[in-house]
Amino acid sequence: MTLNELKIGQSCKITKVNGEGALRKRLLDMGLTPKTKVTLHKTAPMGDPIELLLRGYNLTIRKEEAARIEAEVIE
Amino acid sequence: MNIALVGNQNCGKTTLFNQLTGSKQHIGNFPGVTVEQKSGYLLGNKDVTVVDLPGIYSLTPYSIEEIVTRDYIFNRKPDCIINIIDATNLERNLYLTIQLLEMEIPFVMALNMMDEVRLNGTSIDVKKLSEELGVPVVPISASKNEGVSELAEVALGRAKVKNSAYHDLCDGAVHKAVHSLAHLLEENAEKCGFPPKYTAIKVIENDKSIIDKLKLDERQLDIIGHIVEDMEIACDTDREAAIVDMRYDYIEALCAKVVLKKGQNVNQEKSMKLDRILTHKIWAIPIFLCVMLAVFFMSFSLVGKWLSDLLTLGIDWLTGVVDGALTSAGISEWLHSLLIDGVFNGVGSVLSFVPTIMVLFFLLSILEDSGYMARVAFVMDKLLRKIGLSGKSFVPMLIGFGCSVPGILAARTVSSERDRKMTVLLVPFMSCSAKLPIYSLITMAFFPRYQALVMLGVYVLSMVVGVLYGLLLKVTVFKGNPVPFVMELPNYRWPSLKTLLRNSWEKGKSFIRKAFTVIFVATLVIWFLQSVDTSFNFTSDSSVSILAEIGRFLSPVFAPLGLGDWRLTTSIITGLTAKEAVVSTLAVLFGVASESLSAVLSTAFSPLQGFCFLAFVVLYMPCVAAVAAVRKELGSGWKAVLAMFSQTVVAYLVTLIIYNVGTLFV
């Protein structure tokens, strides 16, 4: 699955970050690296972007970008 | 000697900068780009300059802010760098620190927000952290001014150290690749002044700007290809991710060693609780609108207006005194008019705006520094995405409805240069409050029964044209990928009063400076054109002035819009000094008091012409004060002129369409 498919409150472990160039590098730099645990905290009132919890801080990205990040749900 | 501050956004960098420096600071741009550079003298030590570099998360060459910082560190070689990090968010903040270590430059780490760390019950082994990283670490709390003077001392001591040794962060396959490449590229790196291991890491990361500088030959490129490929296979990931992974792996291991006890992040929990309301599915937008309404009310009608009125009274008094003195001294009529109608009237009307702007920026700084602005960007992002912007541009555009000048200046909070420039170009399309008297005059004259509806229509028109213009910019001038919207939602924090006051004073000051330069000259030019006839004799009859002649000369250009009357054309020109001038010019040229102006207009023109006048006035280029702000933010005079010209052309075309379609029906 990809990050945009997470349900609110659900956690996952990143397996792969797709995409290229500046955007991908930005996602990696902000700590969205493979093996990282990420929780979907909420979605914006208009349904997009989303707010993630990772590495002890809150990060917001658009669903379009979240769709490039592959992950496994942690039960 | 100079000290540079490097750190993430929201880590308290500006607060630390304000604590380190005195009240005098210089705000300018980095050469060639419109990235803000702040500098000031170290408190009590005039020989030391402190420079506040942009807030960044990484040192990749992908954003202007990051390139500027990297170039500054390599080319300007600051005597010491202070890397400020948010101790409540060690993992992500250390990522930038690791990149500084890779650059092999001496620096000092300021471990900020230690008061919060204590409150959380977290315990960090500062000594161990310093040993592990090989750099001095000073625990501070910038907002409480704790440890700041000690930090300055350590930084001054560190300035004597010229080079720091390479710090081995990696192991395994990446380690092997870094070492082989460092060996291979040693000579090329030396020529560019880069440390070899840093060069190796950048080559693995595929950093094009560094690779280009190295001037590698075929053989080297070939070997690099092999080494990187082997590493990718061994790590089971690509080159970019491998390096990022290496850094974060190191950080995780480091944190495990230095964080002795991990408490609850109290502030983060509080912030998330607050966000249950502030970014709530239903309540977020109404709350945001209420907040903005309060900001507008405070600055444009309550506090700001009150202060502005007070200042106007003062200016009027001074004008009266000078007026009387000039009369009794028997000064010639033209000089009298120059001073009173030109200088005092022109500069005075702009100056009276200063308190409004300062109050507005005081309030906006509260929203920004408290962390609320990031939530606004989060909530509003979807609306602006279609025109290639992000939610961060929303507030500047909204402020544009009050006044374009602070709206344009507020674009500084937009963190990417591309988005900032685009925002600056779009703000003037938001109909500013100075145009309200024009709307009420025209709607009263032509649409007395549908005043509110027509006014609403004008606002909608300006926004629709603004959106279309944005779309046009997106596919022309700002083609290419928009900057990714990957934004931290920082914890809510109380803004520091010192920073707030400084911020609003800076904005006020820059506006005052503009009032006495660009705006001063522009008002004088308009005064001259208005007060002198074609044979350069002073005249008090404005209908024979050069300006009126220009109006007559230009009126055929406006005839296709239904605005061929020279008096309308002239008022459009005077509107360039300030939009309020449109109404007063019309009154003067029609020779009636402003109260009876609407009656005169309604007999002279058709409702369609009235609407076309409204449409043109709402869309065409903003006043000189706003042009000056655009010029500053775009960093180039001719770009500002081009922007204003395009906006006026857009206004012309839209009005042309309205008039021609309108005549079919009326």
The tokens of B609 are what? Answer: 């012409």
Q: What is the mean pLDDT of residues B518-547?
A: 81
More confident residue, B483 or A5: A5
Helix (H) or strand (E) holding B123: strand B123-124
B124 touches chain A (CB under 8 A): no
List residues bridging with B212 in a β-sheet: none
DSSP B579: T
Q: What is the mean pLDDT of residues A67-74?
A: 94
Of chain A, the end-to-end C-alpha distance in Å amounts to 14
pLDDT tens, residue by residue, B493-502: 998 888 888 8
List, in order, residues 6 or more apart from B173 with CB less than 8 Å away.
B230, B231, B234, B235, B242
CB contact under 8 A, B382 and A41: no
- Select the residue of B58, B91, B378 nearest A60 (Cβ to Cβ): B378
| Residue-by-residue DSSP string for B155-190 | HHHHTT-----------HHHHHHHHHHHHHTHHHHH
**b/e map of B419-432 (b: 16 or more CB within 10 Å)?**
bbbbbbbbbbbbbb
Per-residue pLDDT of B92-148, as tens digits, reads 999 999 999 998 888 999 999 999 999 999 999 999 999 999 999 999 999 999 999
pLDDT at residue B32 in the model: 65
Q: Is A63 on the interface with B (CB under 8 A)?
A: no
- Residue type for position B298: M
Count the alpha carbons within 13 Å of B387 in the hemisphere toward its beta carbon.
Answer: 23
Which chain B residues have a beta carbon less than 8 Å from that of A36?
248
Helices (H), B371-415: 372-385, 394-399, 404-410
Is pLDDT above 70 for B563?
yes
What are the DSSP calls for B324-373, one per residue? Answer: HHHHHHT--HHHHHIIIIIIIHHHHHHHTTHHHHHHHHHHHHHHHHHTHH
Phi (first) and psi of residue A61, to 5 degrees: -140, 160
- Strand locations in A1-75 (E): 11-17, 37-43, 50-54, 57-61, 69-74
Predicted local confidence at residue B277, as pLDDT: 94
Q: Taking residues B516-531, what's their average pLDDT? A: 79
Count Cβ atoms within 10 A of the Cβ of residue A30 and give its class: 0-12 exposed, 13-18 middle, 19 or more buried: buried
Q: Where are the beta strands (DSSP E) in B502-541?
A: none
pLDDT exceeds cutoff 70 at B349: no
Distance of alpha carbon B362 from alpha carbon B5, whole angstroms: 24
Compute CA distances B246 → A33, B66, B165, B171, B224, whole Å: 10, 21, 19, 8, 19
- ipTM exceeds 0.90: yes
User: Measured between beta carbons, which residues in chain B are less than 8 angstroms from residue A61?
Assistant: 484-487
* CATH 2.30.30.90 corresponds to the domain A3-74: yes
B549 touches chain A (CB under 8 A): no
- Nearest neighbour of A65 by CB, restricted to B265, B281, B486: B486
Q: Which residues contact B592 (CB under 8 A, 6 or more apart)?
A: B600
SS3 of B374, please? helix
φ/ψ (deg, to 5) at A35 = 80, -10
The pTM (predicted TM-score) of the whole model is: 0.85
- Which DSSP helix (H) or strand (E) runs through B280? none
Residue B399 confidence class, pLDDT cut points 50, 70, 90: confident
B268 contact A CB<8A: yes
In what helix (H) or strand (E) does residue B571 lie, and over which residues does it extend? helix B566-574
Phi-psi region of A55 (alpha: psi -120 to 50; beta: other; left: phi over 0): left
Task: Show residues of chain A in contact with B271, CB under 8 Å.
Answer: 58
| Domains, chain B | 2-158 (3.40.50.300), 172-261 (1.10.287.1770), 522-665 (no CATH)
B57 and A30 within 8 Å at the Cβ level: the answer is yes
Q: Which residues of B touch A29 (CB under 8 A)?
A: 57-58, 60, 95, 244
Q: Which residues contact B166 (CB under 8 A, 6 or more apart)?
A: B104, B195, B197
Residue of B622, B634, B632, B621 lying closest to B421 (CA atoms) = B634
Mutation pick from B96, B205, B244 vs chain A, by most beta carbons of A within 10 Å, is B244
Lowest mean pLDDT among B9-23, B230-244, B558-572, B589-603: B589-603
CA–chain centroid gap for B139, Å, is: 31
